Amino acid sequence: MRIVVLSGGVGGSRFVRGVREAIHRATDEPWAGAALDVIVNTGDDWWLAGLRIAPDHDSLLYTLSAQNDEARGWGRVGESERVSSELHAYGVAPEWFTLGDLDLGTHIARSAWLRAGETPSEVARRLGARWPLGATLHPATDTEVDTHVVTTNGERLHFQEWWTRHRASLPVERFEQNNIADAAPSPGALSALAAADVVLLAPSNPVVSIGTVLAVPGMRDAVLSAGPSGSAPVVGVSPIIAGAAVRGMADACLTAIGVDTDAAAVGRHYGARGSGGLLDAWLIGEEDAALVNGLIADGLDTRAVPLWMRDLDTSAALAAAALAAAGEHARA
Ligand code: FO1
């Protein structure tokens, strides 16, 4: 079996780790021994101090290699910030963005390979080769599609500044990705989807993570026609529980595109395959069980399951629930 997950950063990384764990724990489930490919959002990426920073990729790299700082949610465990304070002192990195010493190793390696002419996909392969990740990470596209925020008072700033400096507090007119019209899915993303038996949308930010992955021309069609028979089931996991974003500031992003911050609205935003959307099934939290019947009545197969990923057990159980839902939609 081949599983493909579309993922952003922190929430996505926990979910992908859960999928990997569910694969390892499986005995007679169809996903025992499955291959795992992750299509990673690159809209958060930016150039800083001459280095290419790729937060969502690095969240996955560090989480799957157990190098991540679980408490902080990003960066490396056991980190120090000696170089970062020098970068701040010289003014080549803003005070509100910290590049840890170990983390800089990743950014320097990535930037060196990029400068040598390697693609982001090749860079991801080389970075991942250092650890047994149990998954293959594919940037959604090898084109730089940095997300920018146009605020309601006409400012245009990189997503990282809006997210990290302003904590998503500036009202948003729209999000836009540079070069998105010229972008194409990365070769690895396309081949993973072509071979997929199931596609999962991680509980990442539906707008600036999953949304940005799907905004790459050709990606949505590749998801909808995934698999050898072009009909691999697509199952999504809600990043919203009881009207609140589990992590990050997805609520600010959803508001910006006119979608309510609730599990039903996000499910409808992705849409049921039968009505022109993406999903064959949608997983929401037990806290939102009252929303299930309305969504099913609208043609979206919805299940209320434990959605909180507190540890490996709960993450693996959530992943297994998503894979089981996919199995019920597997077509010939
Ligand atoms: N988030 C912060 O809130 N403050 C930081 O200084 C910061 C630095 C940073 C460095 C590398 C990296 O990969 C991520 C970093 N993040 C930081 C997190 C990042 O901005 C967000 O987690 C993602 O972009 C949101 O998906």
- Report, as an integer, the average pLDDT of 60-73: 94
Residue 332 banded pLDDT, cuts 50, 70, 90: low
Mutate which of 81, 103, 164 for ligand 1? The one with the most ligand atoms within 8 Å of its CB, which is 164
CATH number of the domain residue 309 falls in:
3.40.50.10680
Q: Classify residue 71: in a domain, yes or no.
A: no
Q: Are strands 35-40 and 136-139 parallel, antiparallel or unpaired?
A: parallel
pLDDT at residue 54, as a whole number: 98
* Cα–ligand 1 centroid distance for 49 (angstroms): 15
Q: What percent of the chain has pLDDT over 70?
A: 100
Mean local confidence (pLDDT), 201-211: 98
Any idea what the Cα angle at residue 279 is, between residues 274 and 282, rounded to 5°?
120
Q: Indicate the number of domains in the chain.
A: 1
- Average pLDDT score over residue span 284-289: 98
- 178 Cβ below 6 A of ligand 1: no
Three-state secondary structure call for residue 287: helix
105 within some domain: no
- Residue 75, in any domain of the structure: no
In a domain, 273, yes or no: yes
Q: What is the mean pLDDT of residues 283-310?
A: 98
Distance of CA 55 from the midpoint of ligand 1 (Å): 6
pLDDT class for 209, splitting at 50, 70, 90? very high
Residue 112 within any structural domain of the chain: no
Summarize the confidence of residues 57-81 as an average pLDDT.
95
16: number of CA atoms within 13 Å, CB side? 32
**pLDDT score of 111:** 98
Confidence (pLDDT) at 247: 80
What residue type is assigned to position 320 of the chain? A
How far is it, in rounded angstroms, from Cα 243 to Cα 86? 41
| Closest Cα to atom 18 of ligand 1 | 74
Q: How far is the CA of 164 from the centre of ligand 1 (A)?
A: 7
Interval 3-52: pLDDT, tens: 999 999 889 999 999 999 999 999 999 999 999 999 999 999 999 999 99
Q: Is the CB of 12 under 6 A from ligand 1?
A: no
pTM of the model as a whole: 0.98
Flag whether 118 is in a domain. Answer: no
Range of the domain at 37: 2-65+126-148+179-328
Residue with the nearest Cα to atom 16 of ligand 1? Answer: 74
Look at residue 159 and tell me if it is in a domain.
Answer: no
pLDDT of the residue at 71: 87
Write down the mean pLDDT value for the chain.
97
Ligand 1 centroid, distance to 168 Cα (angstroms): 13
Q: What is the pLDDT of residues 241-273, one digit of tens each?
A: 999 998 878 999 999 999 999 999 999 999 999
Give CA torsion, residues 66, 14, 124, 225, to 10 deg.
Answer: 150
Edge-to-edge order in the sheet of strand 281-285: 136-139, 35-40, 2-7, 198-201, 234-237, 281-285, 302-305
